Amino acid sequence: MALWGGRFKEQPSELFKSFNDSLPVDYRLATQDIEGSISWSRALLQVGVLSAKEQQDLEKALNELLQTVQENPACVLEVPEGEMSAEDIHSWVEGKLIAKCGDLGKKLHTGRSRNDQVATDLKLWCKARGGELLQALVNLQQAMLDLANRERATVLPGYTHLQRAQPVTFGHWCLAYVEMFDRDISRMQDALYRADTSPLGSGALAGTAYPIDRHALAQDLGFRRPTLNSLDAVSDRDHVIEFISTASISMMHLSRFAEDLIFYNTGEAGFIELSDLVTSGSSLMPQKKNPDALELIRGKAGRVCGSLSGMLMTMKALPLAYNKDMQEDKEGLFDALDTWEACLQMAVLVTEGLKVNSAATLSAAQQGYANATELADYLVNKDIPFREAHHIVGEVVLAAIAEGKALEDFTLAELQTFSDKITQDVYQHLTIESCLDKRQVVGGTSREQVEKALQSIKKSSDDLVASHVTGSPAVEQINLALGQVQQRLNAQKAAVMSVRRAKMTDVEAIEHIVNYWSEKGETLPRTRYSIVHDIQNFVVAELDGKVIGCACLYIYQTGLAEVRSVGVLKEAQGHGQGKAMVQYLLEQARHIELQRVIVLTRAPKFFEKLGFAHTPMDSLPEKVIKDCDICPKKNACDEVSMDYLVKTTNTQFAEQEQIEVQVKS
């Protein structure tokens, strides 16, 4: 049924109808159109257009229609045999209402235009969709934070101009994208705030002739206030442009994320391996494993940005007020936001399955003279002006390239031919650790700053959705859902990000924890002297600045170590600190190229979840068995022996590591 026609003598052509009808696109607004119609019926009741009985009958029929649509959204596109399809979602809803209520259904459109109706529907849809996208962004932030936690100590070469520049950590790289996604969240919040005004009651362009209380109407629909100018209200599509713009900027971030990982995944770099879940093979070359998910993210960024360009061009130079051009607003918007959400979800899947080859990243960071800046800074500290120091180091690098060796491989005598200011202490400044540790400024790549950055990324649910858009049930549900996501995020960060290397000032706390659990018969006793002696092998977990857990990676021989003295104070348990400390030690084992980590435990299920496997007790070295002499349960041992094969945790890199060993030898 057409909502117009009295002025026309002939029916529109089928070609025009097909060209003009928007139902195949705007059927997605069915829920919002029905909700807006329910609120409008209540407004008409208040001004006497509808009686209480009429309004109740209309609302009942609309709610029944709403339930039908929610159960089967595709029903909107179903056309009964012998009937014409509706022009748009508004005529479809009105037609169904008239079929249910007869002439009463025809009264609902009193004082309302499709112009303010579609503007209202679209804003309601944007508010609901915006909440879903906010949550998708938070989920991706969570995945990136998890990856940053896992790889916060992994050395990674940093690039400018795609040339190796200075070493950073993989965790620092992850946090760069966390910052980008945080800005995307902020942009979405701002767009939601500005979209939170109700056009309903603006009529076709001049406002409705009925004394509708637009403030009450806006509140009933969940908006913070009504729009203030009817001309602007029916012709405003800024919210559409802002949503697509936010999606475009975020897709640009996702495209950069994808490009980085595509490069890291190449055989030439070999820094990462992508999960089988997000890759495909070649129909011809059986050895191929293609990063299709990332390439599609990169490709779809252009599609979303194209939607933005299209919408800007559609709105350019349109006169006030409504024009049919604006019907083109929805197809690009729907596609852009759907594409954006799909890419956000795919990025989470990519991130969760990502495996980092720390041996390759460290090897790459050690090449390309990434420590040249450190040598220049060293000379500056010897009272040489930076420009002169820069020139000296350039000559050293030139010589290093000619001889095919690293800066740190020069002898002291060789370095002194370039400057007599260089002394034996230079070598401690040329290590990767020194390069990282010096970047202590806020936002720097030092491990300490990465830890601080991880700890500082704490937002309340109020930060996720601007406080001034609260008030509607829909937005309150968004706040609640995002608040739950944020609580989970904060809990996981609290569990993982407080683990650090032990210091001498931690000895007393470590001794207290070890003694507590050794008295319970759960761990072997350790003397204060042995703790002091092994302090460099301990890590501790902190909660609110207090040491509440400890663990030790005791190295026996080349390639072998034992996880021991794992303990968390009883009152602080339940935060995942034990798991975090063991993961920290396993990461350390990878960095120092251990081959096997063993553990004797009464909690095998805990270690199974961390990748340990059962191993016969007699497979352990004699040095481990000798420790049993000091165990109170020596003659009634109930411990399980387990081991973790460090090399096999990254089997995908075994071939590359073998090649690297051959090259080094």
Active-site residue list: 161, 282
Tokens of 215: 């403030």
Burial 346-373 (b: 16+ CB within 10 A, else e): bbbebbeebebbbbbbbbbbbebbbbbb
Running DSSP on this structure, what letter comes out for residue 280?
B
C-alpha distance across the termini of the chain, in Å = 82
Measured at the alpha carbon of residue 248, what is the angle toward residues 244 and 254, in degrees to the nearest 5? Answer: 140
CA distance readout (Å), 210 to 214, 229, 526, 558: 11, 16, 85, 87
Running DSSP on this structure, what letter comes out for residue 24?
H
The answer to whether the CB of 532 falls within 8 A of the CB of 573 is no
- Report the SS3 class of residue 645: strand
Q: Residue 359 pairs with which residues in a beta bridge?
A: none
Between CA 191 and CA 80 the distance in angstroms is: 40
Cis? peptide before 321, omega within 30° of 0: yes
The answer to whether the CB of 265 falls within 8 A of the CB of 292 is no
Instruction: Write the burial class of residue 131 (CB in 10 Å: 0-12 exposed, 13-18 middle, 19+ buried).
Output: buried
Between CA 392 and CA 415 the distance in angstroms is: 10
CB atoms within 10 A of CB 494: 18
The answer to whether the CB of 339 falls within 8 A of the CB of 243 is no
Between CA 9 and CA 448 the distance in angstroms is: 78
Residues 6+ apart with CB under 8 A from 205: 113, 115, 230, 231, 234, 235, 320, 321, 322
Tokens of 150: 């896992």
CA distance readout (Å), 326 to 111, 126, 394: 22, 16, 60
User: What is the residue type of 27?
Assistant: Y
Running DSSP on this structure, what letter comes out for residue 622?
H
Nearest to 374 by CA among 448, 417, 425: 425
